[in-house]
Amino acid sequence: MEFKFHTLDVFTQERFGGNPLAVVHGADDLSTEAMQTIAAEFNLSETVFVMKAEQPAHSAKVRIFTPKSELPFAGHPTVGTAVLLAELRATEAGGGRDALVMLEENIGLVRAGVRIGTAPGLVSFAEFDGPKIPVMETSLPDRADIAAAVGLIPGEIGFANHQPTIFDAGARILFVPVGSRAVLAKAGPNLSQWSRALGVHSDIQAYVYCNQPEQGDAHYRARMFAPSLGILEDPATGGAAAAFAGVVKHCDDLRDGMHKRHIEQGYEMGRPSQIELSLEVAGGKLTGFRIGGYAVRVSEGTITV
In the chain, the amino acid numbered 170 is: G
CA distance 276 to 25: 27
Please give the backbone phi and psi of residue 212, each rounded to the nearest 5 degrees, phi first: -125, 70
Residue 152: other Cβ atoms inside 10 A: 21
CA distances from 48 to 27, 170, 266 (A): 9, 16, 21
Q: Which of 165, 137, 157 is nearest to 251 (CA)?
A: 165
Which bin fits 220, alpha (ψ -120 to 50), beta or left (φ > 0)? beta
Please give the backbone phi and psi of residue 255, each rounded to the nearest 5 degrees, phi first: -80, 170
Catalytic residues: 46
Residue 23: other Cβ atoms inside 10 A: 24
CA distance 171 to 300: 29
Decide: 46 and 75 in contact? Cβ < 8 Å: no
CA distance 222 to 239: 13
Residues, the chain, total? 305
Rounded (10°) angle between helices 75-93 and 238-251: 120
